Amino acid sequence: MPDHEIYMQRCLELAALGIGSVSPNPMVGAVIVLDGQIIGEGYHRQYGQAHAEVNAVNAVLSKYQNAEELLQNSTIYVSLEPCAHYGKTPPCADLIIKHRIPNVIVGCRDPFDQVNGKGIDKLQAAGIEVMSGVLEDGCKQLNRRFFTRVQKKRPYVILKWAQTADGFFAPEDGKQFWITGEESRRLVHKWRGEEDAILVGKNTVAIDNPQLNTRLWPGKSPKRVLIDRKLELGRDLNIYDQSVETIVFNEVKTDIEGKIKYIALEDFDRFVPQYILFQLYLQDIQSVIIEGGAKTLKSFMEAGLWDEARIFTGKTVLGRGIKAPYVTGAEFEESLSDADRLQILYNNPIN
């Protein structure tokens, strides 16, 4: 692997540490190299706080007495194009110019209109050498949530379900039925902490009374999203416990009660997935994991509004019941989670 790719891979490893903490910003890692040695590195840790380039430069400043001289002879690697506009923090392109770092290696351009190409242009106008496109596919894949939100004006949609060995989602009577093992359930809780929101339909809540949190894994619990057309669910259920912000899509009312936000959709017979995703986009929700039930999952699949499907297949055989959803035509990865098989399928990959 060429040196540029080695250092960019380190940027990606650092950037990934920000998952679940930086949305709606992208995950970004930065590495500063001098004479084949890393002298500083950093990543975007928290939304609204310092960007990766700032943390990497500060690492050099805090470690070396002659930091300015070192920076003026170094190369900075950044997984995403340095920003050129004022947002929550000043432009990172200006920081690089200020410290006269002569070489910048970029993983991929930022699709956001206020940045796209402008950061690179600003650096080049200041006489800085810029190379872009190093491990570009990997950089885009890491920030597929961010790219989807910017380019498609909706959150990145992850479908998740478990099915029996013979392809059933649940028993015919719809009662709660565990298909996967403990390791798979812990993995699901880890995933929840990585996404902005988790969405379920009314029947799932009525049957399972889920908490939809991360109690089996350390980390923040996502916002909860419920589809309950006529607001038929009881307020004593866990989803109404006011522990996290909860959005309830319905056709009855628009109101806010503590952490519960009711949003009434004008037409509940058409385009419901589209309406829901647009509303979530407007609220800076960058990703949503849909955990059921079967009808809800199928509605997003039939609308073509999904980006990733994570499917557990257990060893249990039901013989009869509610058939699991079925998706085709996507690239996939496959692995084992304890005794369960896990497939991850991708739809409409980011370009």
Match 């996502």 to its residue by tokens: 222
The pLDDT of 112-129, averaged and rounded, is 86
The pLDDT of 300-309, averaged and rounded, is 95
Stated pTM of the model: 0.93
What is the C-alpha separation between 228 and 115, in angstroms, rounded?
39
The pLDDT of 282-311, averaged and rounded, is 95
3-state SS, residue 264: strand
**Using one digit for the tens of pLDDT, what is the confidence trace for 135-169?**
999 999 999 999 999 999 999 999 999 999 999 99
User: Over 60: is that where the pLDDT of 324 sits?
Assistant: yes
Determine the pLDDT at residue 250.
97
**Using one digit for the tens of pLDDT, what is the confidence trace for 30-56?**
999 999 999 999 999 999 999 999 999
The pLDDT of 299-308, averaged and rounded, is 95
Closest C-alpha among 145, 73, 82 to residue 103: 73
Determine the pLDDT at residue 222.
98
**Using one digit for the tens of pLDDT, what is the confidence trace for 170-196?**
888 767 788 898 899 999 999 999 999
Instruction: Identify whether the C-beta of residue 30 lies closer than 8 Å to the C-beta of residue 41.
Output: yes
Determine the pLDDT at residue 114.
66
If you count DSSP H runs as helices and E runs as strands, how many of each does the chain have, helices first? Answer: 11, 17
The pLDDT of 54-60, averaged and rounded, is 97
User: Over 60: is that where the pLDDT of 1 sits?
Assistant: no
User: Over 80: is that where the pLDDT of 29 sits?
Assistant: yes
User: Over 60: is that where the pLDDT of 227 sits?
Assistant: yes
Determine the pLDDT at residue 335.
82
The catalytic residue positions are: 53
What phi, psi does 224 have (nearest 5°)?
Answer: -105, 140
Determine the pLDDT at residue 85.
67
Helices marked H in the chain: 3-15, 52-63, 67-71, 92-98, 118-125, 136-142, 144-152, 182-194, 202-208, 272-282, 294-302
What is the C-alpha separation between 95 and 177, in angstroms, rounded?
55
Could you tell me what percent of the chain has a pLDDT over 90?
A: 79
User: Over 90: is that where the pLDDT of 260 sits?
Assistant: yes
The pLDDT of 102-112, averaged and rounded, is 93
Find the range with the poorest average confidence among 52-61, 113-122, 229-238: 113-122
Determine the pLDDT at residue 173.
78
Determine the pLDDT at residue 195.
98
